[in-house]
Amino acid sequence: MYLFEWGAVVIISASVRHNIHGLSQVAEVSRRLDGISRRLLEHDSIDAAIVLTTCNRVDIYADSAKGVPAAEAECAIARELNALPSFLHGKAAITHIFSVAAGLDSMVIGEREISGQLRRAHRQAINMHTTNSDLSRVVDSALRISRKVAHSTGLAGTGRSIVSLALDCVAERWQDAPNEARVLLIGTGAYAGATVSQLRGRQIEQISVYSHSGRAQSFAQAHELVAVDEADFVSALAQADIVVACRGLGNPIITAELLAQVMPMRDTELIILDLALQTDVQSDVGTMAGVRLVILEDIQRVAPDAAQSHVHRAQKLIKQGVDDVIAQMDSRRIDPVVVAFREHITDLCTGEVDRLPAKETFTKEEVARALGHFASRIAHTPSVLARQAAETGNDWEYVRALHSVLGIDVSQAAREANIRPAQLSSGGKCPLSAFLNRDVDVKGSGHHEL
């Protein structure tokens, strides 16, 4: 007897985010992410993992191993994070991934930077070979729907983002004469690039960049900025109207000691926007005279609500996208069965070829005879099963199964034979199940197992 076990894809999301766990716990968890994708794949319960980290969330998207309870994968993730994230699995997890990609789960609803961050996280997982086809299909679909949300709703129309809100918090410093505002950018990562775009969108062009890692020169060339080297860092701080820090390495680069050198060189307030989850600015800097420090918690408090009509439209698009990707994965799950069926037919065909006499050419009659024998072998088992279905009162179910499997319309023949729907008789079996399980007598069929 042969039984088919259908392994279900179980997508899992594990989320530590600002509005549930608080920014301090998000920062704490983000310090433990080095190499976490590979560590997760060392657990037997996890087949794939993608790690998304932003200034206000740490998300892990995983595909649990086939046949393993989702709870085992969730325990593995919690142990690696040393935290208790919010878990979702199945359709709820996929919906969460779509909502994240579209910006509906962000600190600033509708912001577009998150889709780029998810795209980079996915690309990194591909390069590290920590994702698989199912998880990648979900993320690709989520990114595609996020673009549709951006184009079909008003959520992205106002350029909403963490950076834009931070700049709005200090608008009095630059909005009257943006071309005169001098901004020092600290950091050269992806978020620094988004910051440059936001600054230029506000006609702020006097932008310099500093990086302790030495990447300032290449970043400046790529974005047409002014690079600041180590020797000029203090003077650059003294001349800047606004400092935007977005390194996020967890070791503050702007300290009270450093600003004690800078402030005597200034005659105006120094504005510092610390947009890093793992802060770039020492906490006591905010208490210094002449310094205004804006941190993520400040931005969180002023983040406006999105228009509900836009959110509802986005949610409808997300629901359709989730249903579509689940249908795609369901359709792909039967691929091994299709392959096995094709191999069965190929084996029958190979057997017929082997029966042919060893010669180069064949007459039309010989070919017709060989094809007729091949057709008889294919039809033999279904024919035996048809008679058994009729004997057990399952002939209607057999007709339906024949149509489902082979696409053959035998409705007219069924009417002529007076075959009608009926309940399965006691002890009866669906002929398709019987075919799969091989629990019928098909002696002499010469068949190959499916």
The SS3 of residue 274 is: strand
Complete edge-to-edge strand list for the sheet that includes strand 86-89:
46-53, 57-64, 11-17, 86-89
Of 115, 156, 103, 108, the residue nearest 139 (C-alpha): 115
Binding residues, as ranges, are 54-57, 106, 111-113, 117, 187-192
The catalytic position among 55, 246, 349, 430 is: 55
Binding residues for NADP(+), as ranges, are 187-192
Binding residues for substrate, as ranges, are 54-57, 106, 111-113, 117
User: Are 103 and 114 contacting, i.e. CB atoms less than 8 angstroms apart?
Assistant: yes
Residue 161: which residues within 8 A CB-CB, separation 6 or more?
108, 111, 112, 113, 194, 198
Concatenating the DSSP letter of every residue in 59-121 gives EEEEEEPTTS-HHHHHHHHHHHHTS-PEEEETHHHHHHHHHHHTTTTSSSTT-SHHHHHHHHH
User: Are 47 and 116 contacting, i.e. CB atoms less than 8 angstroms apart?
Assistant: no
Q: Give the distance from CA 300 to its chain's centroid.
A: 25
169 is catalytic: no
If one counts every other C-beta atom within 10 angstroms of the C-beta of residue 156, the result is 22
The residue behind tokens 């709005």 is 168
Interior CA angle at 408 toward 403 and 410, to 5°? 85
The residue type found at 282 is Q
Helix axes 190-201, 113-127, angle to 10 degrees: 160
The residue type found at 93 is A
User: Are 274 and 245 contacting, i.e. CB atoms less than 8 angstroms apart?
Assistant: yes
- Three-class secondary structure assignment of 203-234: CCCEEEEECCCCCHHHHHHHHCCEEECHHHHH
If one counts every other C-beta atom within 10 angstroms of the C-beta of residue 169, the result is 17
Which residues are catalytically annotated? 55
